[in-house]
A and B are shown apart, each in its own frame.
Chain A
Amino acid sequence: MFNGRFRVSAGCGALMLMLANQLIAADWSSMELTRSTVQKERQAIVAKFMDLNESQSHAFWPVYGDYRHTVARASDGMLTNMETLIERHGILSDSQANDLLDEYLKWQQETIQTQYAYLKKFRQILTPKQVARLFQLENKMDAVVRYELAAKVPLIK
């Protein structure tokens, strides 16, 4: 019953739960704090599950750092928008709501373009299965963050 796959899945789940709990416990008045908490845990989770050899590790971490930096920079505008939405308790004009949704879609598109760009770079360093695992890990962590943010950000009134 407790095969390797279960242990990896459960172990990853436990780390995700720990991350989610930290997010809940964090001071939500600051999205910046949330992001730094996620960033810190993200690297530890990737390190734990990627099984990199020494040469891969040497090449991987600078590229991964660049990738996270690029993703974070693209998220800056969205985080500011979410903070504003929380401060205003969801009260926006039609024009502000249009801008917010447009920026959200643009951000989603930019994030995918960043993933495509870095996919090529990661494939020069890691095996295809490792790259798939990396993107799975990123996707799992993003899902936890999106879930927490979805609960926190009020509906537009």
Chain B
Amino acid sequence: MQYGSRTIVMLGVFLAGLFPWGTALSTEGVSLLDAKRAKIQSMHVEAVRDFLHLAPHEEQPFWSLYEEYRADTARMNDNLVRLLKHYASNSDNLTDQQARDLLDEFLQVKEAKVQLQYLYVARFRQILPGRSVARLFQLEQKLDAAIEADLADVVPLVK
């Protein structure tokens, strides 16, 4: 099972290999991130299909709800990408006010994502057993961790 976990993370990294190592994020880089988001979305679906082991009667209600969840998550991520774009185009001469606003917005998006997870955990529990719901959110977390680690490496520090 540990092999499975590492495999998922490596798949995430393979997909999320958005930037060469050590390359600072640029405006072009953020556009590349935009282009990769569809693949990231399909990667989530693929990992969930391979590792969630749904019973036949769970399939239809699950995929319908999961699609809704991913769409809401994508909307949250739109806000993060917007912040990254704003930062990438202003990082050389960021003002104190911009730095303050960016950090405030970043925390707000993080908080909103947790609230979204709370909402969907309750809804997934209506159609899946506890272990399946926990495994689903573990899968999501593992893929997000790979993508976030990749992004963390390339987003330059505020000067």
Question: Are B131 and A97 neighbours in the complex by a CB distance under 8 Å?
Answer: yes
A33 CA to B149 CA, complexed, in Å:
22
B139 at the interface (CB under 8 A from A): yes
Question: Which residues of the other chain, B, contact A16 by a CB distance below 8 angstroms?
Answer: 152-153
A37 CA to B100 CA, complexed, in Å:
31
Interface residues of B in 85-121 (CB under 8 A from A): 91-92, 94, 96-97, 99-100, 102-103, 106-107, 110-111, 114, 117-118, 121
The secondary-structure label for the interface of chain A is helix
Question: Which residues of the other chain, A, contact B22 by a CB distance below 8 angstroms?
Answer: 6, 9-10, 13
* B27 → chain A closest CB, angstroms: 13
Say which size band chain B's interface belongs to: 35 or more
Interface residues of A in 60-95 (CB under 8 A from B): 89-90, 92-95
Pull 15 A–B residue pairs with CB atoms less than 8 Å apart, ordered by A.
Answer: A8-B159, A89-B1, A94-B130, A97-B131, A98-B130, A129-B96, A131-B103, A132-B99, A146-B145, A146-B149, A150-B9, A150-B146, A155-B135, A155-B139, A156-B138
* B23 → chain A closest CB, angstroms: 8
Q: A9-B24, A112-B107, A155-B5 are in contact. Are A129 and B134 (CB under 8 A)?
A: no
Interface residues of B in 117-159 (CB under 8 A from A): 117-118, 121, 125, 129-131, 133-135, 137-139, 141-142, 145-146, 148-149, 151-159
A144 CA to B145 CA, complexed, in Å:
8
Question: Which residues of the other chain, B, contact A136 by a CB distance below 8 angstroms?
Answer: 155, 157-158
Question: Which residues of the other chain, A, contact B92 by a CB distance below 8 angstroms?
Answer: 5
A152 at the interface (CB under 8 A from B): yes
A44 CA to B93 CA, complexed, in Å:
27
B36 at the interface (CB under 8 A from A): no
